[in-house]
Structure 1
Amino acid sequence: MAKPSNPPNHQAKFVTGSTMRHVAVMTATGSIGLIAIFIVDALNLFYISMLGVQELAAAIGFASTLMFFFVSVSIGFTIASSALVSRALGRGERAEAARHGGASMLFIGLVTGFITIAAWPFLDTLVGLLGATGETRELTTAFLQIVMPSTPLVSMGMATTGIMRGAGDARRAMYVTLTGGIATAILDPILIFGFGLGLEGAAIATVLSRVVLLAVGIHGAHVVHRLMAMPDPRKLAEVAKPFFGIGLPAVLTQLATPVGNAYVTIEMAHFGDESVAGWAIVGRVIPVAFGVIFALSGAIGPILGQNYGARRYDRLNTAMRDALIFVMVYCCVVWALLAIFAHPIADLFGATGAARDQVVFFCVFAAGTFLFNGALFVASAAFNNLGFPTYSTLFNWGRSTLGIIPFVWIGAKYYGALGVLGGWALGAVVFGIGAMIVAFRVVRNIGSSAPPSQLDLPPPPPAAQSPFSTGKASTIQ
C-alpha cells in the first residue's frame, strides 16, 4: 500500500494553544472509542444475563477480573510508547519517534506473548484462587481458554493507540477502539444467540474484535503516520532502556488496580454468586459512566510529554490544573445522573436480590468517590510522563492495598457484601488527594529547575529529585 507523502502532525501540536482545549479534545475523542468498548462489554454481560443462568454472569465477572491483569500489562507499556513518541516529537525528532513506535510494538508483543504462554497451564488454578467454584469455575476457565491466546493482539492494538496519541492524533486512536467495539457489538448477538454458542460465542466475538482492532491500529500508526520504524537490531538494547524504564513502573502501577479488584472479588465471593454477579455489573457500569476519566488519564500524558520534550515547563502546571477541573466537573455531573437512574440501571441488567442492592448502592453512594480516583489518574499520568514513574507506582499500589484491604475487610465483617463495595470506594479519597498534591509539586519543581538532559528518559534536575523540595537543594519543606 502506498504511503502518504505528507503524514499528518509533523510538528508537536500540544506546545501551543489552549491547554484546556487540548485536554477537552483529546479526552472527548479518546473517550468515544473507549466508552464504545465498555458499552459493548456491558452488552456482552447483558446478552449473557438474558440466557437466565446466574453462573454464566458470574463466570463473566471472574474472567474479567483475571483478564484485567493481562490488559493492565498492555496499558502500562502503552503508556511508555506514548510518552517516548510524544517526547521525541516535542524535540522535533520524528525519525527517533518512529523508532520508539516500532520497538514498542515489538517489545509489547513479545512480553505479552510470553506471559500468555506462561499463564495458560494455570488458568483453572487462577480462576479457583479468585473464589470461583463448581460450574462457575468450569465456565470461566473455558471462556479464558478461548480468549487468552489473543492477548498479544489486543496489546499491540493498544500500543498503536499510544503511538497515535503521542502524535496528537486522538481521532485515529479513537477509530481503533471504536471499530473493535463495533465488531464485538455485531458479532456478540450473532454468535451468542444466532449460532446458539452462549458463553463460547461471547469469547469468539472477543477474539475476532481484537483482530479488527489491531488491523485498524497498524493502519493508523504505520501507514498514515509512519511512526513504526523498526530500529537496527544492534540498537534495540539502546531503545529498550527508556521503554522499559518507563514501562515497567507503569505496568506495576497498572497491576495495582486488578490486584485490588481481585481482593474485592474474593471477599465478594464469600457472599455467593449473586453478589459476584452484582460486582460484575458494577464493573461494567463504572467504565461506561467514567470512561471519560479513563480517557483523560491517557489524554493528558501526551500533552505533558510534548511540552516536556519542548521544555515548555510553564504549560505543564496549566495542563494539570485544567485536567483536574475537568475531572471535578465531569464526576459531579455523572454521579448525579447515576443516583437519579440507579433503579433503571439495575433493571437494565435484570439484577435482583443482592446483585440489585450492589448496583443501587454504587450508583447512589460509591460513585461519588470517583472524583478522587480521577485525581489519582491525572497524577499518575504526570508522574509517568515527567520522569517520576515510581511515584505513580507507589500511589497506585497504596490505593490498591492500604486503600482497599483494610476498608474492604472491615466492611465485609460488619456490613456484608455492601460493606465490601463501600470499603473499596472509600480508599480512593486519601490517595487521590495525596497524589495530586505531590504531582503539582513535581511540576512546580521541574519548572523552577535547570532544563533536563536530552536523553529519552531525562533525569530530573538535582533540585527536583524530590517533589518535596522547593528548588533549593538545601531547603526541605
Structure 2
Amino acid sequence: MTTQQNTSPSTSNQGKFVTGSTMRHVLDMTATGAVGLVAIFVVDVLNLFYISRLGHQELAAAVGYSGTLLYFIASLGIGLSIAATALTSRALGSGNREEAKKLAGASLWIMGFFMAAISLIALPFLHPLTQLLGASGETERLSVRFMYIVLPSSILLGIGMCTSALLRAVGDARRAMYVTLGAGLATALLDPLFIFGFGLGLDGAAIATGLARFAMIAVGFHGLIRVHGLYKHPDFTVIKQTIKPFMVIALPAVLTQIATPVGNSFVTRSIAQFGDSAVSGWAIIGRLIPVAFVVLFALSGSIGSILGQNYGAKRFDRVRSTMNDSMKVTLVYVLVVWLALWLSSGLISDAFGAKDVSRELIVFFCTFVAGSFLFNGMLFVANTAFNNLGYPFYSTMLNWGRSTLGVIPFVSLGASWYGAKGALAGYGLGVVFFGMLASWLCFRVLRTIEQRG
C-alpha cells in the first residue's frame, strides 16, 4: 500500500485527498462508487431479464437497440460531469471553498441546459437513428416507443449524475454512492410492478426507468446542499464566467465519452446482419459488461477527484502514486473477473434463456473477449488522468482511435471471416494497442507535469 505524507501547513483547507494513503483513497472511493453503480447496472440486467421472460425475442432486441442510442445521451452527461468534478475538486484542493460552491452551482445549471437540449434535438430522429443501427419492422417500432418514454427524463439523469460527481469532488464517496443506489433501488421496485403488475411490458420498463431518476435528484441535492452546503445559486454573470473553463474540459470529455457508443453502434450494426438472436446475445453482453467490470467504471469515475485535489495542491508525487495504485487495482480485478466469467458462462446463458447464436456469443465473450478489459481499464484510468490534469484532448484522440481504428477494421474482418463471434473477437482485440498506448502516454504526461511543477 502506497502512503504519502503531506507537510504543507494548509492541508486542512485543501480537501481530504491531499493527505493519507493514496491506495486507501483509491480503494475507498472505488468501492463506494462500485456499490452505487452496480445497483444501476444490476437493475439494468434485471430489466432485460424481465423483458426476456415475456418470451418475445424482438423485445430483448429492442432493448438492445434503444440501449445503444440512449448510451449516447448518458455519455453526454458523463462528459459534463467530468468537467464539474475537475473544476470543483481543483478549487477545493487549492483551499477556495467559496469558489467551489459557485462552480458547483453553475455546473448543475449548465448540465440541465445541455441535457434538455440534446433530448429535444434527438426526439424527431429516433426512427432513422434506430434504422441506421439495423433495426426493422416490429423491433424498430418497439425500440422507438421505448425511447420516446425514457428520453424526456434525461435531464433528471444528467443532473443526478452531476450531483454524484460533485459529492465525489468533495470526497463524500458514501453519499455519491447513495445517489445511484437510490435510483437503482427505485427501479428494482418499480420494474416488476409496471412490467408484470400493471401488465405494461416494455412500456412499463421505460416508465419505471424515468420515474426512478427522480430518486437521483432527491438524494443528490440532499447530500450536496443540506449536508455539505456545496451549492451557490449562480446568476448569469457566474454562469458566463464558468462556461469557458467548463467547456474546455467538457467538450473533449464529451467527445471522449461519445466515442464509445459510436464504436458500440458499429458492433451492433455488424452483429445485426446475423439476426435478432445475435442482437439479443449482444444486448445481454452489453448489460453483463458493466456489472462484471463495475469496479473499472467506478475506478475511472472516482479517481478524478483524488487527482484533481492533489493537482490543485501541487502534490504531483501523490498524483503519480494515485495512478500507480489505479493500474494495480485494474490488473488484479480484471484477472479475477475473467476467471469468474469463464467458470459461469453456461449459468449466465441459462439465466437469460439464451439459445443458438445468442448463447454462443455469451459463452465466447466470457471465455475469451472478457480478458481484453485489462486494456480497456488501462484506457479508462489514463483518460481520467488526462481530463483532470489539463490534457483532455489526449483522452479524446485515444477513445476515438479505439472506437474507429480499434473497432471498424477488426469487427468488419472478424464478421466476414467468422460471423457474429468474429465480430465480437474483433471488438476485444482492437483495444489492446490503445490501452497500452494510453498507459505509456499517461506516465509521460506525469513526468512533464512534475518537471514543470
- TM-score bracket, normalised by the shorter chain, equals over 0.9
Map residues 267-286 of structure 1 onto 2, 5 A cutoff: 267-286=270-289
Counterpart of 2:317 in structure 1: which amino acid?
Answer: D
Q: Give the Cα separation in 2 of the matches to 1:104 and 1:163.
A: 9
Counterpart of 1:372 in structure 2: which amino acid?
Answer: F
Q: Deviations over 1:79-106 (max 9, x none)?
A: 0001111100000001111111111110
Shift of 1:124: 1.2
Q: Which residue of 2 aligns with 1:321?
A: 324
- 110, 124, 127: which is aligned to 1:124? 127
Q: Which residue of 2 aligns with 1:171?
A: 174
Q: Give the Cα separation in 2 of the matches to 1:432 and 1:161.
A: 27
1:293 and 2:266 are equivalent in the alignment: no
- 19, 24, 29: which is aligned to 1:26? 29
Q: Give the Cα separation in 2 of the matches to 1:64 and 1:36.
A: 17
Q: Give the Cα separation in 2 of the matches to 1:409 and 1:309.
A: 44
Q: Which residue of 2 aligns with 1:47?
A: 50
Counterpart of 1:226 in structure 2: which amino acid?
Answer: G
1:241 and 2:244 are equivalent in the alignment: yes
Counterpart of 2:174 in structure 1: which amino acid?
Answer: R
Q: Which runs of 5+ in 2 are unaligned?
A: 1-11
Q: Check conservation: 2:14, 2:309, Cα contact below 8 A.
A: no
- 415, 422, 433: which is aligned to 1:419? 422
Counterpart of 1:90 in structure 2: which amino acid?
Answer: G
- 61, 67, 72: which is aligned to 1:64? 67
Counterpart of 1:341 in structure 2: which amino acid?
Answer: S
Q: Which runs of 5+ in 1 are unaligned?
A: 1-8, 451-477
Map residues 436-447 of structure 1 onto 2, 5 A cutoff: 436-447=439-450
Q: Which residue of 1 aligns with 2:231?
A: 228
Q: Percent identity?
A: 58
Q: Give the Cα separation in 2 of the matches to 1:214 and 1:397.
A: 31
State the SS of the aligned residue for 2:310. helix
1:152 and 2:155 are equivalent in the alignment: yes
Shift of 1:407: 0.1
TM-score for the superposition, normalised by structure 1: 0.92
Q: Which residue of 1 aligns with 2:218?
A: 215
Shift of 1:10: 6.4
Q: Deviations over 1:103-145 (max 9, x none)?
A: 1110010011011111111111111111110000000011000
1:304 and 2:307 are equivalent in the alignment: yes
Q: Which residue of 2 aligns with 1:337?
A: 340
Shift of 1:409: 0.3
Counterpart of 2:132 in structure 1: which amino acid?
Answer: L
State the SS of the aligned residue for 2:17. coil
- 434, 437, 442: which is aligned to 1:434? 437
- 124, 137, 140: which is aligned to 1:137? 140
Q: Deviations over 1:310-334 (max 9, x none)?
A: 0001111111000000000000000
1:15 and 2:18 are equivalent in the alignment: yes
Q: Check conservation: 2:123, 2:148, Cα contact below 8 A.
A: yes
Counterpart of 1:322 in structure 2: which amino acid?
Answer: D
Q: Which residue of 2 aligns with 1:3?
A: none
Q: Which residue of 2 aligns with 1:259?
A: 262
Q: Give the Cα separation in 1 of the matches to 2:137 and 2:226.
A: 48
Q: Which residue of 2 aligns with 1:355?
A: 358
Q: Give the Cα separation in 1 of the matches to 2:426 and 2:50.
A: 30
State the SS of the aligned residue for 1:14. helix
Q: Check conservation: 2:18, 2:309, Cα contact below 8 A.
A: yes
Counterpart of 1:368 in structure 2: which amino acid?
Answer: G
Q: Give the Cα separation in 2 of the matches to 1:284 and 1:115.
A: 24
Counterpart of 1:17 in structure 2: which amino acid?
Answer: G
- 348, 372, 377: which is aligned to 1:374? 377
- 190, 196, 199: which is aligned to 1:196? 199
TM-score for the superposition, normalised by structure 2: 0.97
Q: Give the Cα separation in 2 of the matches to 1:405 and 1:17.
A: 44
Q: Give the Cα separation in 1 of the matches to 2:180 and 2:239.
A: 29
Shift of 1:235: 2.9
Q: Deviations over 1:45-93 (max 9, x none)?
A: 0000000000000000001000000000000000000111110000000
- 68, 73, 77: which is aligned to 1:74? 77
Q: Give the Cα separation in 2 of the matches to 1:212 and 1:317.
A: 37
Counterpart of 1:330 in structure 2: which amino acid?
Answer: Y
Counterpart of 2:116 in structure 1: which amino acid?
Answer: G
Bigger proportion of residues as helix: 2
State the SS of the aligned residue for 1:62. helix
Counterpart of 1:86 in structure 2: which amino acid?
Answer: S
State the SS of the aligned residue for 1:265. helix
Task: Give the 4+ runs in structure 1 shifted more than 3 A.
Answer: none
Q: Give the Cα separation in 1 of the matches to 2:285 and 2:241.
A: 43
